[in-house]
Structure 1
Amino acid sequence: MMLFRDEWGIPHVRGASPAEVARLQGRATARDRAWQLEIERLRGEGRTAELLGPAGLEWDTVARRARIAAVARSAYAGLDEETQEFLTAYVDGVRAGLAETSCAELDGPDGLGPAPGTWQPWTPLAVFWVQQILFGSFPSKLFGARAARVLGPEAELFRTEGLTGGLSGGSNAYAVGGGRTRSGLPLVAGDPHRVFEAPNVYLQVRLTCTDPDDSFDVVGMTFPGVPGVQHFAHAGSVAWGITNAMGDYQDLYRVDLRPGGDVVRRSVETVLVRGQEPVTVEVLETDRGPVVLDDPEEGWGQALRTPGHELDDLGFGALLPLLRSRSVADVEAAVAHWVEPVNNWVIADVAGDVVHTVGGRVPTRDEAGEWTGWVDPLPRRTASSGGALVTANDRCMPGFDALAAGFAPPFRAHRIGELLDVNGPLDAERAVAVLADTTQTAGGPLLALVPADLRPPALAEWDGAMDGSPGAAWYAALRAEVVDRICAAPALAPLREPSEHGPLYEPWYSLPARVAGALHVILAAEKPFGLDLRELVAEAAKAVTGREPTPWPESHRFWPLHTLEQFDLPHTRTTPATPLPGDTDTVRSNAWIPGTTVTTRGSVARYAWDLADRDNSRWVVPLGVSGSPDSPHHTDQHDAWAQGGAVRVVTDWSLLTEEKT
């Protein structure tokens, strides 16, 4: 059992069995991300308030009511014995790594002290679900219900592509056949987009098993706290990447909380709160799922139904089959175990096969909204040697109608397709360059409404790139002004109110974010919300004329959220506030947040997998491998990432440095 590091500090694990590999992966992760692992464990257990005080109480209440830990335990119990052993070995490694970690790192920032409790074999499942449970459609359904109450049919202006399954902005992935690459073999590339976090939400790793009867050698990315590699990986002869398929796989049901109503199980859990008296949380379950929102005085609540709750399965049966995959067919067989979130999987292998398939459970529903089964088969398509498959959370093919009603706008997908057509034969460097594109193609409807006499010279010279150009600055200023004026419409006043469900759901209720994400749809409507759009845009253009707008990257800075910031607690930042190009609907989807000068959502990884030569592949994350500000690997990948590039994958053991274990 051996651990090596490359020049970026990325762990390369080599073990004689899958369990040995998992044990060492857990140990290395604890060395790199000790405090992050512990806080994610507490999130999964609904115990953050024990460490963070009252600031953690809202999340802990949600976690307890949603039964995150309970489902994780049930899902673990339902796994096959070998996968249970794999998870147990990983947890043993995490415990060992935490035991070797300095007290200062375990105390976390600001000397909070070590997190209470310890890792259990089911903990990785809870950590995984914490990352996913708010990633689905139900928070947006809450906003959609409010908008429908306020606006009636006009609420459909917000139910646009990209806003039904989450906030706007999203991931890219594509695969090209060997006829479109320099090597003659396929290439897979992509970049997932999520909230920026410090440390990063993804961790690079290489996992190698030397058992001659069960060997594998995989480079990829994982959530810290979850063994194996789930979403993006190169296994030597096959490689894959994912995007969110925007599937509608979560439902909320209004339930009667009164005695004799819809509740079938009631229990009370105690949440310990640092510095305060404990708080009791009533956990209510119905036949459709747990009650996650309630109003006891009114006697009603809302039950959340998800595939995870329904099946007591979180898809971890895919972990080992993914590591052992040798072909597209193997990956597809592994994906058959996937549950949620519902993902697009783009896969290619050395035999030249290139496939885009969907993995996960999407319920079928009757007219009353009751679940009647699962969508089967899920959408799938292939590409020829000279073809390409692109997914950017968009409506990729007709079969997607069975997944949901809303997807991301097609701007990113279309732009990637154009770039693949003009960039000639691809290699890994060119594949990464495609993902760095910052050309804005979503602004046409807005610019078309600007009167000719109000168009500045900078706009005529602008090529559409959301960079430091005067044209990008003027467009950004105009858009911000237009969004503000639309939000000020009297008809939208009730939608400017905070979420009635508390701060945790506030991001999904942000009216400026909703208007910005649906702007191209709103601008195509006839007097939306009672507004004269031509007049509104003209007045907005006059308002920004004569200003000296700040260059776009300067007013759009990288702002990763530390856990303490996510809980609205003070934190001394150790990460750079780098100016960033790109925009919500550009390929490099660094999302715009109206009213701020920062971006908190964008590419949390970038990769290009070369099937002809894995060591010619590229990968990168914002910041670096280590969560410790004192480590040389805390932010050493950041410059490459911020410039739209990536670093080379190295798998030659002779070029790596062995670390004592």
Structure 2
Amino acid sequence: MSLFRDEWGIPHVRGASPAEVARMQGWVTARDRAWQLEIERLRGEGRTAELLGPAGLEWDTFARRARVAAVARAAYAGLDEETQEFLTAYVEGVRSGLEGASCPELEGLGAAPGAWQPWTPLAVFWVQQILFGSFPSKLFGARAAMVLGAEAALFRTEGLSGGSNAYGVGGGRTASGAPIVAGDPHRLFEAPNVYLQVRLACTDPDDTFDVVGMTFPGVPGVQHFAHAGRVAWGITNAMGDYQDLYRVDLRPGGDVVRRSVETVLVRDQEPVEVEVLETERGPVVLDDPEEGWGQALRTPGHDLDDLGFGALLPLLRSRSAADVESAVAHWVEPVNNWVIADVTGDVVHTVGGRVPRRDDAGEWVGWVDPLPRRTASAGGAVVTANDRCMPEFGALASAFAPPFRAKRITHLLDEAGPLDAEHAVAVLADTAQTAGEPLLALVPAELLPAAPAEWHGAMDGSPGAAWYAALRAEVVDRICAAPSLAPLREPSPHGPLYAPWFSLPARVAGALHIILAAQKPFGLDPRALVAEAARAVHEAGDPAPWPEDHRFWPLHALEQFELPHTRTAPATPLPGDTDTVRCNAWIPGTTVTVRGSVARYAWDLAHRDNSRWVVPLGASGDPDSPHHTDQHDAWADGGAVAVVTDWSLLTEEKTCP
């Protein structure tokens, strides 16, 4: 096996078998992202407090109660032998790579990496996904309904602000005559980045594959975005409603079928015991011991003891859109939109994952089948941006992202000439704001300044963007001040872990187009409120340029646990907005953005080296590496770097095992 790197330090792995490829992938990931691997392993095992002290207790309690590690072990045991061998080889590579790897964070904490197990990658994967579903929003929805009754429906958008884009265009729309798949996932900005670029090539004549793509550090293969030579794919979250919370009786003789106590070790403090309660519907993740009631979380992963890793090897071996669809049949959660295209010209949008069918009492009675699917002609396109892409999506959920991004991408593709990869990336960099039209329509004409009157909606450094951002912030503050919303201004009743879902300003901002369209939302007069806000903005004078008040702010894991950390990531000014295609989400009351595009790609099926990809920051998690932030400028400018697959243009690394 051998390891090569391109000019961006992206690893290109070559091995004589899938196991060799996995072993080298594990080794190089440990060399590039040692801290990230260690903290994600601890998260998956519910053991962060061993390293971080009391700051890790809330997460560890949730991870133990949600049975993250237990489900990962069960899911690993249920895999076929070949996939188990693939995972075991990856873990062996991680163990070897961690020996002597540079990790300033662990050194500063006086700690060393712990032991990875064959099932650890499954736990790492689920840590990234378990809060990505619908149940945290259901907690907020229940709270809002209790406070507001029917008016809680005004907040009816799914999840947190921001979202992902993906599209596929047929060869009739491209310069080469072959399809292009492009997209950009949006998640929490992290330092180092949540996605890692990689190339995996197997030279076994009977099992050849050569795939470039992106993976979660700690998970082998390429799961979500990849170009396998003859076929390419990308994903967005389909917003499926596949998680449920049930009120359960915790008293003796009630709903609990299994009780155990787990000990959480806490650095420099006494251990803490966590009671783990399981019901027929799932583990209890929230409880009120004094009242004797709790809430059990039910997910497909819990129900099936399966996290979808049966898709890993079939994805690597895919040669056609049909192959990718067959691989996606193994997918469990999260429920994703998959945009797929191949060299024969097929362009497909399908949904993969398990969505429960529910009876009138809310009990699960099987899975939604078939899942939505559509295709595009040679002159057509498919676009998905977490929206209700087609009528059949009603079987997946009742709440989706607003249609603004999807409509804008469709418009840009309709207006574009023949696409190449660079133009495909440029579509993803669009910053035109269309979600603000309901707000602008309520501003009295005499309060529209001259510059915004000429503004075409781009959330950039223009005076119009600055004025609009200031006006929106003022409107959101005034809505949040409504007396009827006072209980929702309180912190999350379930603790800091769920605080992002209970932020009232974020909820109001995300649903502003719905709230302003209502007659008397929360007892307010939208027209009068907007007019008063516009006068306040006028009296305050010229606001700062939008990108200056909207800076890239990736969170290191220590910051996520509210622990001290010396930042090495640049606080780059960012254009874009929550509902623009370049979806850098706005957080009311702050001058930073912590959610946005965590990767960007355009896969050209005519020739893979025409493709583009990029991540914020860079390939390495080591601040001393030249590849720690070397992709950042290209990403921040809305661009991407070239994919290079010619082995002769790569540099072989001699230090690998």
Q: Residues 135-190 of structure 1: CA distance to partner in whole angstroms, max 9, x if unpaired? A: 0000000000000000000000011xxx33x1121000000000000000100000
> Which residue pairs with 1:43 in the alignment?
43
> Which residue pairs with 1:636 in the alignment?
630
Separation of aligned partners in 2, 1:460 and 1:321: 54
> Which residue pairs with 1:88 in the alignment?
88
> Which residue pairs with 1:62 in the alignment?
62
The structure 2 residue matched to 1:206, chosen from 199, 207, 229, is 199
Separation of aligned partners in 2, 1:603 and 1:197: 11
Aligned-pair CA distance for 1:548: 1.7
Separation of aligned partners in 1, 2:277 and 2:248: 11
CA contact (8 A) 1:315 1:340 kept: yes
| SS of equivalent residue, structure 1 residue 302 | strand
> Which residue pairs with 1:19 in the alignment?
19
> Which residue pairs with 1:131 in the alignment?
128
> Which residue pairs with 1:107 in the alignment?
106
Aligned-pair CA distance for 1:583: 0.2
Q: Residues 574-632 of structure 1: CA distance to partner in whole angstroms, max 9, x if unpaired? A: 00000000000000000000000000000000000000010010000000000010000
CA contact (8 A) 2:38 2:114 kept: no
Write out aligned runs for 1:95-174 (5 A): 95-102=95-102, 104-105=103-104, 107-108=106-107, 111-115=108-112, 117-159=114-156, 163-164=157-158, 166-174=159-167
* TM-score normalised to structure 1 length: 0.98
> Which residue pairs with 1:504 in the alignment?
497
Separation of aligned partners in 2, 1:105 and 1:99: 14
Separation of aligned partners in 2, 1:589 and 1:190: 12
CA contact (8 A) 1:50 1:116 kept: no
Separation of aligned partners in 1, 2:343 and 2:624: 41
Separation of aligned partners in 1, 2:81 and 2:444: 68
> Which residue pairs with 1:286 in the alignment?
279
Q: Residues 233-259 of structure 1: CA distance to partner in whole angstroms, max 9, x if unpaired? A: 000000000000000000000000000
Aligned-pair CA distance for 1:117: 3.0
Residue 592 (structure 1) aligned with residue 591 (structure 2): no
Separation of aligned partners in 2, 1:403 and 1:115: 44
CA contact (8 A) 1:230 1:322 kept: yes
Residue 270 (structure 1) aligned with residue 269 (structure 2): no
CA contact (8 A) 1:12 1:205 kept: yes
CA contact (8 A) 1:12 1:207 kept: yes
Counterpart amino acid of 1:107? L
The structure 2 residue matched to 1:197, chosen from 190, 198, 201, is 190
> Which residue pairs with 1:615 in the alignment?
609
CA contact (8 A) 2:98 2:113 kept: no
Write out aligned runs for 1:420-569 (5 A): 420-546=413-539, 547-569=541-563
Separation of aligned partners in 2, 1:625 and 1:156: 42
Counterpart amino acid of 1:403? L
Aligned-pair CA distance for 1:105: 3.6
The structure 1 residue matched to 2:405, chosen from 401, 409, 412, is 412
Residue 308 (structure 1) aligned with residue 301 (structure 2): yes
Counterpart amino acid of 2:601? Y
Aligned-pair CA distance for 1:115: 4.7
Q: Residues 73-96 of structure 1: CA distance to partner in whole angstroms, max 9, x if unpaired? A: 000000000000000000000000
CA contact (8 A) 1:34 1:106 kept: no
> Which residue pairs with 1:578 in the alignment?
572
Counterpart amino acid of 1:302? Q
| SS of equivalent residue, structure 2 residue 273 | strand
Separation of aligned partners in 1, 2:112 and 2:42: 8
> Which residue pairs with 1:399 in the alignment?
392
Detail structure 1 runs of 4+ shifted over 3 Å in the superposition: none
> Which residue pairs with 2:642 in the alignment?
648
Which shifted more, 114-123 or 423-432? 114-123
Separation of aligned partners in 1, 2:303 and 2:537: 52
> For residues 247 and 115 of structure 1, do their structure 2 counterparts lie closer, same or farther at Cα, with a shift above 3 Å needed?
farther
CA contact (8 A) 1:106 1:115 kept: no
CA contact (8 A) 1:39 1:115 kept: no
> Which residue pairs with 2:172 in the alignment?
179
| SS of equivalent residue, structure 2 residue 259 | strand
The structure 1 residue matched to 2:319, chosen from 284, 303, 326, is 326
Separation of aligned partners in 1, 2:632 and 2:367: 42
Aligned-pair CA distance for 1:106: 6.4
Separation of aligned partners in 2, 1:553 and 1:101: 37
Counterpart amino acid of 2:153? E
Separation of aligned partners in 1, 2:106 and 2:652: 28
CA contact (8 A) 1:238 1:349 kept: yes
Separation of aligned partners in 2, 1:101 and 1:132: 27
Aligned-pair CA distance for 1:533: 1.0
Separation of aligned partners in 1, 2:467 and 2:177: 44
CA contact (8 A) 2:431 2:580 kept: yes
The structure 1 residue matched to 2:619, chosen from 621, 625, 633, is 625
Separation of aligned partners in 2, 1:292 and 1:115: 31
Separation of aligned partners in 1, 2:402 and 2:495: 29
| SS of equivalent residue, structure 1 residue 198 | coil
Which shifted more, 450-459 or 317-326? 450-459
Counterpart amino acid of 1:552? W
Aligned-pair CA distance for 1:513: 0.2
Counterpart amino acid of 1:243? T
> Which residue pairs with 2:383 in the alignment?
390
Separation of aligned partners in 2, 1:367 and 1:115: 52
CA contact (8 A) 2:32 2:620 kept: yes
Separation of aligned partners in 1, 2:113 and 2:56: 14
* TM-score normalised to structure 2 length: 0.99
- Structure 2: runs of 5 or more not aligned: none
CA contact (8 A) 2:251 2:293 kept: yes
| SS of equivalent residue, structure 1 residue 339 | coil
Separation of aligned partners in 1, 2:526 and 2:379: 44
Separation of aligned partners in 2, 1:252 and 1:399: 24
Separation of aligned partners in 2, 1:445 and 1:451: 13
Separation of aligned partners in 2, 1:87 and 1:114: 26
Separation of aligned partners in 2, 1:532 and 1:22: 60
- Tell me the percent identity: 87
- Structure 1: runs of 5 or more not aligned: none
| SS of equivalent residue, structure 1 residue 133 | helix
> Which residue pairs with 1:32 in the alignment?
32
| SS of equivalent residue, structure 2 residue 284 | strand
> Which residue pairs with 1:658 in the alignment?
652
Q: Residues 507-529 of structure 1: CA distance to partner in whole angstroms, max 9, x if unpaired? A: 00000000000000000000100
Aligned-pair CA distance for 1:272: 0.2
Aligned-pair CA distance for 1:458: 1.2
